Amino acid sequence: MHPLLKILILSLLPISELRGSIPVGLTSGLPISVVFPTAVISNLLVFPLFYLFLFSIHKLLMRWAFYRRTFNYFLERTRRRVGPQVEKYGYLGLTFFVAIPLPVTGAYTGTLAAWFFKMKKRKSFFAVFLGVVIAGIIVSFVSIFGAHVFDIFIKK
């Protein structure tokens, strides 16, 4: 599979998002000047796609008990994790939450939180956009310079 396709797919997947796609792209030998924008743009596609899903297909799927239980579980978990930040800091809290480069703190959870808290779509997108860019910078920095830290301890 072509490395750019890997970056695209990983950036669109929940959990990995760009936190997984940037290291994979860099270890594939692609330069950061290609990996970073590809991962960020791909990860930003999550917001409109997931938002559209929440307003259309989600309503149809809520008829099925399994989906309803699963979705309510994720919604409650999102409410617990993001709620205090969003209620206290609003869009800035949403940005910081998405910017934390850990699993389940990315664009999917940020979009779900914006939808759940009935935040304005345009401002929410901008908040998620900033969070994704910040997370991308952090992950890129750690991926590039973090690997060199181990070179200090490994003698060749």
What does the domain layout of the chain look like in residue ranges?
45-153
pLDDT over threshold 60, residue 156: no
Q: Rounded to the nearest 5°, which phi and psi values hold at 108? A: -65, -50
pLDDT tens, residue by residue, 1-32: 999 999 999 999 988 999 999 999 999 999 99
- Predicted pLDDT at 52: 86
Question: What DSSP string describes 60-112?
Answer: HHTTSHHHHHHHHHHHHHHHHHHHHHHHHHTHHHHHHHHHS-STT-SHHHHHH
Instruction: Please give the DSSP secondary-structure letter assigned to residue 64.
Output: S
pLDDT in tens, 107-147: 998 998 898 888 999 999 999 999 999 999 999 999 998 76
Helix (H, G, I), strand (E, B) or coil at 96: helix
pLDDT at 148: 63
d(CA 90, CA 83): 10
Share the mean pLDDT of the chain. 90
